[in-house]
Amino acid sequence: MGYSGEKLQEEKVFKDPVHRYIHVRDRVIWDLIGTKEFQRLRRIKQLGTTYLTFHGAEHSRLSHSLGVYEIVRRIVDDVFEGRPEWKPEERLLSLCAALLHDLGHGPFSHSFEKVFDLDHEQFTQQIIVGDTEVNKILLKVGRDFPKKVAEVIAKTYKGKLVVSLISSQIDADRMDYLQRDAYFTGVSYGHFDMERLLRVMRPREEHAVIKQSGMHAVEDYIMSRYQMYWQVYFHPVTRSAEVILTKILHRAKHLYESGYEFAQEPHHFYSLFKGEVTLADYLKMDEAVMLYYFEAWEEENDAILKDLCTRFVNRKLFKYVEFHPSNSQMNRLMELRTLFKKAGIDPDYYLVVDSSSDLPYDFYRPGEEEERLPIHLLKNNGEIRELSRESEIVDAISGKRRTDHKLYYPSDLLRDESTKKNIKKQIRKLLELSD
Amino acid sequence: MGYSGEKLQEEKVFKDPVHRYIHVRDRVIWDLIGTKEFQRLRRIKQLGTTYLTFHGAEHSRLSHSLGVYEIVRRIVDDVFEGRPEWKPEERLLSLCAALLHDLGHGPFSHSFEKVFDLDHEQFTQQIIVGDTEVNKILLKVGRDFPKKVAEVIAKTYKGKLVVSLISSQIDADRMDYLQRDAYFTGVSYGHFDMERLLRVMRPREEHAVIKQSGMHAVEDYIMSRYQMYWQVYFHPVTRSAEVILTKILHRAKHLYESGYEFAQEPHHFYSLFKGEVTLADYLKMDEAVMLYYFEAWEEENDAILKDLCTRFVNRKLFKYVEFHPSNSQMNRLMELRTLFKKAGIDPDYYLVVDSSSDLPYDFYRPGEEEERLPIHLLKNNGEIRELSRESEIVDAISGKRRTDHKLYYPSDLLRDESTKKNIKKQIRKLLELSD
Amino acid sequence: MGYSGEKLQEEKVFKDPVHRYIHVRDRVIWDLIGTKEFQRLRRIKQLGTTYLTFHGAEHSRLSHSLGVYEIVRRIVDDVFEGRPEWKPEERLLSLCAALLHDLGHGPFSHSFEKVFDLDHEQFTQQIIVGDTEVNKILLKVGRDFPKKVAEVIAKTYKGKLVVSLISSQIDADRMDYLQRDAYFTGVSYGHFDMERLLRVMRPREEHAVIKQSGMHAVEDYIMSRYQMYWQVYFHPVTRSAEVILTKILHRAKHLYESGYEFAQEPHHFYSLFKGEVTLADYLKMDEAVMLYYFEAWEEENDAILKDLCTRFVNRKLFKYVEFHPSNSQMNRLMELRTLFKKAGIDPDYYLVVDSSSDLPYDFYRPGEEEERLPIHLLKNNGEIRELSRESEIVDAISGKRRTDHKLYYPSDLLRDESTKKNIKKQIRKLLELSD
Amino acid sequence: MGYSGEKLQEEKVFKDPVHRYIHVRDRVIWDLIGTKEFQRLRRIKQLGTTYLTFHGAEHSRLSHSLGVYEIVRRIVDDVFEGRPEWKPEERLLSLCAALLHDLGHGPFSHSFEKVFDLDHEQFTQQIIVGDTEVNKILLKVGRDFPKKVAEVIAKTYKGKLVVSLISSQIDADRMDYLQRDAYFTGVSYGHFDMERLLRVMRPREEHAVIKQSGMHAVEDYIMSRYQMYWQVYFHPVTRSAEVILTKILHRAKHLYESGYEFAQEPHHFYSLFKGEVTLADYLKMDEAVMLYYFEAWEEENDAILKDLCTRFVNRKLFKYVEFHPSNSQMNRLMELRTLFKKAGIDPDYYLVVDSSSDLPYDFYRPGEEEERLPIHLLKNNGEIRELSRESEIVDAISGKRRTDHKLYYPSDLLRDESTKKNIKKQIRKLLELSD
């Protein structure tokens, strides 16, 4: 079978706190794990700034990627193998796509992509088809293999079943991150019976379906997901760190554009500032590099950059109040902006509305911005039904978007009464702070 | 009571995977956690290079420090309080010492200290008594409070009971790290019944003792410790990374001393190279900074520095064979060094013997290099006996040092047959590699 | 303080898999645990026939009772103590009521009470106020103390806060059994963050409320409850065993009433059959006694009693099909009854519809059959709001009763083709069994 | 392949708290689980009287038997399959022997066997080869299959590898019970890395060996075993219950032999008293039946039987003091016996020395009473070495028997000062009780 079928002499394992062990038998997978592009994921945290809220959340995207691979391996080898709807020739493709699906993530992805208008999925594609160690290994499997792997990750691959394993509302990606993020943060949410879910998954042409008898396990999974979003992913303290991070990057870009002379020159950022980032530039960016700059910029002359970096590095975060984008609150926001300016605090950097929004589950709405692949149940009589038609619980929350807005500000600056005492008092009043 | 007795309006908690929650009521503790010196510990991993072996081991010294604080808090507030042998006025001192005991750790401490001849304990002292945010807060408790905290950590404080809580063979430090390191690596070792140990601890003038009824829990703790050393801390893959790291720092220092012109100038290292490191310099050093340099040095002109950095960053580690420092093996090592030189591979950087050695438990041997405080059992009749006199299991392993030597080398270079094919073949043979 | 305030010389603990340890300091609690009425709960399983579905579910009502006590102890001592709304003089009352709330349960309660028209709550009352070891101990606390304890359990006590601790939609009873039943069955459901729930409970005059910040933990708890009902408590195999058990008791009663001569005389059942059961009779009944009879009755002459007992003892249970009480299905059921009779299988014992029904959460509907105390959230501004007004998830499922009907029958008898082959074939067809 | 190779249409699973799921594919295994002899194991607790010490320890021998089966299934199907040293034709034999190895256990085995001079292993043999449901199923596999299964369990089967899977110092039996007993009691001991142990097991002709790389996991397993013996199995409170149980059975037998007229006639015991127990009699004995009698005997006229039964049923156990069988203590025991008689308390029933003794690990000592199969390590070079030659820890404890003696007595009777006050005072003094 050549390289694509080559097995290691002895199975290798990685100890993993979530799945006990990650098992590797395929030479291709072993070699991919050893590439520098994959190893780079060690320097990118799975949960970005969340470690500033939950001190255990230091785990890397590398460990998540291994976990997704392991789940797909178990689905394919322990559950799908031998079933007529499963094409064994898509096994290695599924494993590689699972392992590599997050390869293009940048440091603190969320803010990073927003500020520099980047898309990590595009970089994942570039790494897979570009001139990289990963590409060289995939090419050894077959000429068009890198392209196929890239297509699976981009959801354009024709074999929709394979796509659904890593991109649907119940895929290996989510199953790993919910459990992993719960484990490392230490929260009580995020648990569901994955063993059972895997046991009742069945391959169909268009997607993996879940046997009816596993419906309660699916409900539990969806509730876990819901809880993790609001308890962990949208935690207001994490978002405060994210707000500051975004403002740091904005400020640095702004300074660069206005010809400011950096004490610590932002070599790694120039191509980002110019919007001309190459794959090589991009791959040099990771969280160690980013933190290096932020630490250095604690000594810049620009007061705003210096202050924001100091806040981020030393976790002196913004405080927040609830905010609802009603007319009256929007007016109050405008008023606050004016007062901030009077107080000498730039509201563009120090008064920030941040919104989080989540849809715990949705049935299929064709043509919408982001089409979400729904979950299908396989009934005993062979019929296939979309989940929310069978589960009252899921129906009750299906399609219900929940949004949360918060207004972030530096309470320490506002409490410093050495200057502009009265204006700050007014601000604090408007923010409903006690005096 | 002033600042030292000030309580937060409402108890604050940090979610912790090991202890469920870290509870903070004291204003002093809350303020210390918020200092930049304490927050810096987020950028230093608890287990150094171990994450290259166990991908979950990304946890920071900050989380360990919070854990040690929490254990001491529970001992003091839930077990010791109200007992005549316990002085309540030493409560805050114990908590602060627990929280701050690791404050002076540098990046990848082990290698870092060895190469630059530093001692993290000395820096812990400096941070506590020097001009720092931490010092300012401690001073608010009392003029001599920083000094006292420093003494507890240095084991010179007169109240030996307090010292024993964080520095003995069964202290809060070890109890936290064994459990925490087990949790994050995911290994099955490192578990013991801490609840029970805490319940049976009793204060005595010189140290905390363990009630006889807890002896089996102590035995279990000692075995856990033993297993963690050999399964995790001395794992040969971790040591391989450590070997490379050490050689990078040696090479950089050597290049600096020989006037080499760095493409990426090692600003942060100059004072280290010169042996004139100040506290301010030291505090700027963390693992983000170190990784930044290693990544930059992947593009240096010096082939050795470039190669070693590439290895470390991308986890292309050295392989190893067992090594026993007998005459014959020492001769073989000399022979190998000669062959390495002939093959154009500098043995000073590429052929390294590394030794690990551990004493699972020891009774007190006064005057020895590192005096180890033994564990004492409190019998029902009030008598106090050193553990190994009561436990057959502990007696059996007491004072038995176990040492392990390995010889590390770059197997990839030796397999590259483009040059010096025959010499490399000879080397591989000597290393007992199959051909 | 006398007996009511008497503390044990040293705290006693029971090792508990759910709460780690059960802590006892109060002499009264210690003495109550030692009574024979409390020890009797060891011989009554917490989950009745569930052990025939989940082999781990052998845990007793004694362990659950200790768990409820421990949770109330933690609420009262760790959370409520010192808060103005909490009356410390109700502490011991709360602890005793928690410990004793299930004291009157009979063997396999559910079926037992139904067949003999008994109410375990009434027996709990009788044990507490009657001539028992428990009563003697409670009397030592105070003349009217037994009556008060009984009132708390009966929900008629005037201090509604105390009542709410063990009888509301979020009480110590449920918090213990969800976790305990999950632990012993081994299912993945039943987990929620009890630590957090306890931390955010606050005493109010009428009930314990939950701080708004704990809302997600409450949602998670309600979903756990929902899952446990459908995954464990209403498991169709458990209900099959329950159906058989009910029929055994009916048959034995029927035989007694029709003058049948038992080979193993049912001494322990006579007063039950006559409806004249005394407290002393009742206390002699437990699951060991019941099983003794069922095993003996495997050798009775009456074919039905003998068969049903053999089924129960050796787990040869009934099979089931879905059943919806529509006109057509009711007609089919009538037809099946006729056919069963023709086949010589008594449908009164061998063709049974069983229904399960659950309301995952409900707001308060005064005057309804069983008034359910709703859960209240305490907002930051001090306002108190009923849970379903704040939580979309809970609102979505609030008041929605779900019911499930199944039709049970002995598939082995129907497959035995030695007699009435054709009729049995017809029956199997009607039951939609494959031929 | 006929019955022996028949697979179920769909894999069946049992939810298990220790192994997550027990998987059954083989028709034979499924049928064996459904027999009444196997179901009887539900009525026999795995840990006998231990539930009186650890209230969670209510788990049955049935759940343990399923666990041992599951471990052997995993060894055989996941690890041994395909290796040249493994004979696939011994697969089903291994699974059946694992499942059935404890089939002959009686109620509260330990005391039961001792008093009536029975051996559960002999009954296991009888059930397998006698006229039972189990035997019928095994016969369908092959004429001599029951005999082979019986031989494996009796350790006389010629294929020693199969024997070693369920009877050696590291077998599936121990691996299951250590973990299961730890889980249900809730203690922190009993954990070891079974996943790893299974992964490194290798079949050899005479036994399963463990790859050298798993040595630390074996050490951990041996320490777990050691801890479980002293923390759980030999717990003095459990032994107190065992002492009382033994004395009940002795007393009942004595009364029977001396012609006493029982109010509750011991029908189930007659053949035991006479030493003429048949298999049918034996199978009717379980813990429900035994408890039924003990409860009934609480109302016997014989004061000793009545008292002992009341103690056992209501957990009014004996207290204990340490006892060392030295001359002086033996003299004191004689003196105590005399005083007991004077006080009207029969020392034959109320003053009991109980000893526990354990050998944590032993190498092979041929010809000894109970030959213990040692553990063998497989070194990288293929050499096989007995464990204690490789592991210092194991060597240190190897062959070291530890024994513990306690003297049990009814402290309540001795504190009752209504009669023989002075003699009781003397007794209490001799027992070193405080006055």
The pLDDT confidence band at residue A370, using thresholds 50, 70 and 90, is: low
What does the pLDDT look like over C194-208, one tens digit per residue?
Answer: 999 999 999 998 899
Question: Distance, in angstroms, between A195 CA and closest chain D CA?
Answer: 8
Judged by CB atoms closer than 8 Å, whether chains meet at C15 and D66 is answered as no
pLDDT of residue B44: 98
Q: Sort out which chain D residues have CB atoms less than 8 A from B228's CB and list them.
A: none
Torsion (CA) B146, B147, B150, B154 in degrees, nearest 10: -170
Q: Sort out which chain D residues have CB atoms less than 8 A from A199's CB and list them.
A: 13, 21
pLDDT of residue C402: 82
Residue C158 has pLDDT above 50, yes or no: yes
ipTM: 0.94
Domain A2-234+362-400 class in CATH: mainly alpha
Q: Sort out which chain C residues have CB atoms less than 8 A from D183's CB and list them.
A: 17
What does the pLDDT look like over D228-252, one tens digit per residue?
Answer: 998 899 999 999 999 999 999 999 9
- Pick the residue from chain C with its C-alpha nearest to A189: C192
Judged by CB atoms closer than 8 Å, whether chains meet at B20 and C195 is answered as yes
pLDDT of residue A434: 41
pTM: 0.90
CA-to-CA distance for D407 and D336, rounded, in angstroms? 11
Closest CA to B204 of B78, B87, B97: B87
Judged by CB atoms closer than 8 Å, whether chains meet at D20 and A195 is answered as yes
Q: Sort out which chain B residues have CB atoms less than 8 A from D217's CB and list them.
A: 188
The pLDDT confidence band at residue C345, using thresholds 50, 70 and 90, is: very high
* Average pLDDT rounded to a whole number, residues A293-306: 98
Classified by CATH at the fold level, domain C3-233 comes out as Hypothetical protein af1432 (1.10.3210)
Task: Give B1 or A97, the one with higher predicted confidence.
Answer: A97
Classified by CATH at the fold level, domain D236-356+405-430 comes out as Growth Hormone; Chain: A; (1.20.1250)
CATH tag, B3-234+360-400: 1.10.3210.10
Residue C367 has pLDDT above 90, yes or no: no
Q: How is domain B236-357+403-430 classified at the architecture level of CATH? A: Up-down Bundle (1.20)
Q: Sort out which chain D residues have CB atoms less than 8 A from A20's CB and list them.
A: 195
**pLDDT tens per residue, chain B (435 residues)?**
689 889 998 889 999 999 999 999 999 999 999 999 999 999 999 999 999 999 999 999 999 999 999 999 999 999 999 999 999 999 999 999 999 999 999 999 889 999 999 999 999 999 999 999 999 999 999 999 999 999 999 999 999 999 999 999 999 999 999 999 999 999 988 789 999 999 999 999 889 999 998 998 999 999 899 889 988 999 999 999 999 999 999 999 999 999 999 999 999 999 999 999 999 999 999 999 999 999 999 999 999 999 999 999 999 999 999 998 888 899 999 999 999 999 999 999 999 999 998 877 877 665 555 567 889 999 988 999 999 898 888 888 888 888 899 999 999 999 988 889 999 999 999 997 543
- Pick the residue from chain A with its C-alpha nearest to C191: A188
What percent of chain A clears pLDDT 90, i.e. is strictly above it? 81
pLDDT of residue C164: 95
pLDDT of residue B38: 98
DSSP B194: H
What stretches in chain D show pLDDT beneath 50? 434-435
* Average pLDDT rounded to a whole number, residues A17-25: 96
Same fold for the pair A2-234+362-400 and A236-357+403-430: no
Pairing outcome for strands A376-378 and A208-211: parallel
pLDDT of residue A365: 62
Question: Distance, in angstroms, between A38 CA and closest chain D CA?
Answer: 27
CA-to-CA distance for C53 and C56, rounded, in angstroms? 9
* Among candidates A16, A59, A292 on the partner chain, residue whose Cβ is nearest the Cβ of B58: A59
Residues 6+ apart with CB under 8 A from C398: C360, C361, C362, C363, C388
3-class DSSP assignment, residue B345: coil
- Pick the residue from chain B with its C-alpha nearest to C194: B20
Residue A2 has pLDDT above 90, yes or no: no
3-class DSSP assignment, residue B211: strand
> H-helix or E-strand containing A7?
strand A7-16
- Pick the residue from chain C with its C-alpha nearest to D310: C36
Q: How is domain C241-356+405-430 classified at the architecture level of CATH? A: Up-down Bundle (1.20)
Distances, alpha carbon C218 to alpha carbons A404, C195, C233, C390, in Å:
19, 12, 21, 11
* Average pLDDT rounded to a whole number, residues C322-337: 92
Residue C114 has pLDDT above 70, yes or no: yes
Query: How many residues are listed for chain C in this entry?
Result: 435
CA-to-CA distance for D5 and D3, rounded, in angstroms? 5
Instruction: Count CB atoms within 10 A of the CB of residue D254.
Output: 16
- How would you classify residue B432: left for phi > 0, otherwise alpha for psi between -120 and 50, otherwise beta? left
Question: Distance, in angstroms, between A216 CA and closest chain C CA?
Answer: 7
Question: Distance, in angstroms, between B362 CA and closest chain C CA?
Answer: 31
- Strand runs (DSSP E) across D181-333, as ranges? 201-203, 208-211, 319-322
Q: Sort out which chain A residues have CB atoms less than 8 A from B39's CB and list them.
A: 313-315
pLDDT of residue A357: 85
Judged by CB atoms closer than 8 Å, whether chains meet at C43 and D291 is answered as yes
Residues of B with CB under 8 A from a CB of C: 13, 20-21, 195, 199
Q: Sort out which chain A residues have CB atoms less than 8 A from C230's CB and list them.
A: 216
Kindly list the partner chains of chain B, i.e. chains with 3 or more CB atom pairs below 8 Å.
A, C, D
DSSP C60: B
Residues of C with CB under 8 A from a CB of D: 14-18, 20, 34-36, 39-40, 42-43, 45, 51, 54-56, 58-60, 62-63, 66, 183-187, 284, 286-289, 291-292, 295, 313-316
* Average pLDDT rounded to a whole number, residues C253-259: 97
Q: Sort out which chain A residues have CB atoms less than 8 A from C231's CB and list them.
A: 216
Distance of CA B350 to the CA centre of its chain: 25
Q: Domain residues of chain B, as ranges?
A: 3-234+360-400, 236-357+403-430
pLDDT of residue C137: 98
- Pick the residue from chain C with its C-alpha nearest to D296: C284
Q: Candidates 1.20.58.1030, 1.10.1040.10, 3.30.56.10, 1.10.3210.10; correct CATH number of D2-233?
A: 1.10.3210.10
Tokens 């006693």 locate to: C12
Closest CA to C110 of C281, C268, C251, C244: C244
Sign of CA dihedral D382, D388, D389, D390: positive
- Pick the residue from chain A with its C-alpha nearest to D11: A199
Q: Report chain C's mean pLDDT, rounded to a whole number.
A: 93
* Among candidates A15, A40, A284 on the partner chain, residue whose Cβ is nearest the Cβ of B186: A15
Ordered DSSP codes for D6-48? -EEEEEEEEEETTTEEEEEEEHHHHHHHTSHHHHGGGGSBTTG
What does the pLDDT look like over B152-165, one tens digit per residue?
Answer: 999 999 999 999 99
Q: Sort out which chain A residues have CB atoms less than 8 A from B281's CB and list them.
A: none
* Average pLDDT rounded to a whole number, residues A170-193: 93
- Pick the residue from chain C with its C-alpha nearest to A187: C193
3-class DSSP assignment, residue A21: strand
